[in-house]
């Protein structure tokens, strides 16, 4: 995978994992950076999916923690995109990454 940064590489691995699990590529994929996180979203459309739209969208916020680690945040049960964006923004604004010495206490 020739992606240049860790969050983009992680998004590519997430997509491969879901495509392998579902047995087909996503019909729509979005990757954007915002507020210190990368937002990956992919949608699959299939008549056998139970929703009225026969679509399933997976969205994950990928936060780089170091040059080797990322934190993946996936929210569920949020009714609207506006509420999702508000909750994600709230979480990202309050997220604090501490170095190893601070984690030991």
**CA 60/CA 7 separation, integer angstroms:** 11
Whole-number pLDDT of residue 1? 45
Pairing relationship of beta strands 37-45 and 55-64 according to DSSP bridges: antiparallel
Contact 62/91 with Cβ under 8 angstroms? no
d(CA 1, CA 79): 34
Could you report the per-residue pLDDT of 21-80, keeping only the tens digit for each?
999 999 999 999 987 899 999 999 988 888 888 899 999 999 998 888 899 999 988 989
pLDDT(102) > 80? no
Please name the residue that has the structure tokens 């009225």: 52
pTM over 0.85: no
How open is the CA angle 86-55-10, to the nearest 5 degrees? 60
């Amino acid at each position: 995978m020739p992606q240049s940064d860790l969050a983009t590489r992680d998004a590519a691995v997430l997509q491969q994992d879901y495509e392998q699990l579902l047995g087909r590529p996503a019909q729509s994929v979005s990757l954007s950076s915002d507020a210190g996180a990368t937002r990956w979203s992919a949608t699959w459309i299939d008549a056998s999916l139970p929703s009225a739209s026969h679509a399933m969208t997976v969205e994950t916020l990928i936060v780089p923690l170091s040059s080797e680690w990322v934190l993946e945040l996936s929210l569920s049960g949020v009714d609207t995109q506006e509420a999702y964006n508000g909750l994600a923004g709230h979480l990202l604004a309050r997220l604090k990454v501490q170095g190893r010495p601070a984690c030991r206490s």
